[in-house]
Amino acid sequence: MVSGSTTIIESEDMNEQSAYCKEIKRTSLLVEQIKKEFAQWKSEEPDFDEDFFDEDAVESYLQYLVGYVHKDDWYVIEDRPEKQNKQ
């Protein structure tokens, strides 16, 4: 699973009076790690088509991780210039 260097933010939820922490992640580093993981999967399983893990697959997996798997754990900063210009 994707990992990397992080900074912890402590925050307090006023509704539940409990403290929680989120890791700050940069999108560019997450994408880089996802591409490395995909390359490793390709090398371990030669049956994948050459273009199976294209940019759409990387973006889809990124959205899955950020939106579902780590939605309560990560605060993600979009630092990719091509995505910042579209916002």
- What would the pLDDT profile of 11-45 be if each residue is shown by its tens digit? 555 445 445 789 999 999 999 999 999 999 888 98
Structure tokens at 23: 């890791």
Residue 3 included in any domain: no
Q: Is the dihedral of CA 55, 5, 64, 13 positive or negative?
A: negative
Q: What is the CA radius of gyration of the chain?
A: 16
Residue 1 included in any domain: no
Please state the pTM of the whole predicted model.
0.72
Structure tokens at 11: 């925050």
- 31 phi, psi to nearest 5 deg: -60, -45
Residue 52 included in any domain: yes
Which residues constitute the domain of residue 55? 8-84
